[in-house]
Amino acid sequence: MANDSPAVILYDGYGNPVTVILDGSTYRVAVDAKLSGVAIDGYSLRVTNQNPLSTFNAIGAGIVTAQNKSMLSILNTSVRSIRIEEIYLTNVRTTAVTGVMGVFEIRRITGHSGGIVVGNVEAYETSDVLDPGVTIRTGASISGESSNMLWRSMLSTDEHGIGALDISGSQHIFQTMFPIFVKKTTNSKTITLKSNEGLTIKFTPNSATGLFDIFCVFTQE
């Protein structure tokens, strides 16, 4: 192939441009700074090593349920993109109660205010710094809530570790193992929050018996 062959513009899994220039019998590859290794195999492009994005875990601890309460919300008002990677929900109620079937809905939002600011936001690497335009709250007043759900989980609000083991009690071990939300396929996007976009995890039943920890793992780019 001649040296003046046109470039083929491809994109990586995060939408960043990857330029592949076909130059004679060799391949010269110009890549985005986020990529540290690329291999060409026939007509396919394989990213072999990717510099990880800044990663954080926002933890809302001991959140009491209430009807239509925003258990945890995250809002991005920065120019960065926030990507929700995993959300874990753990029942931490140990006082004996008769619970209900809790319904947790994940929905997009455009604003939140009030409630309690979640200060327990830890970086996976100490050099990662969260943009101040990203805020996390519990019990916030939500605005711009989407009428469509992104995801829904149903978990019992019965206490954990009291009395005989039953079906509602046995689910607790799985809550610590499996997220209620995670990216579904290798070829799909995860939930992405661009500027002035957010997310809420809303508890919908009329019940104050539940007590949950929520762990929201997200990246910033």
Query: Residue 170's CB: how many other CB atoms inside 10 A?
Result: 10
Two tokens, residue 97: 């109660």
Same domain flag for 96 and 186: yes
pTM here?
A: 0.75
Same domain flag for 111 and 150: yes
DSSP SS3 for 107: strand
Domain that holds residue 32: 8-50
Query: Residue 209's CB: how many other CB atoms inside 10 A?
Result: 18
As a whole number, the mean pLDDT across the chain is 82
Residues 6+ apart with CB under 8 A from 212: 62, 63, 65, 71, 89, 90, 91, 92, 93
Give per-residue pLDDT as tens, 14-44.
566 555 554 444 444 444 444 445 544 454 5
Same domain flag for 60 and 165: yes
Same domain flag for 168 and 209: yes
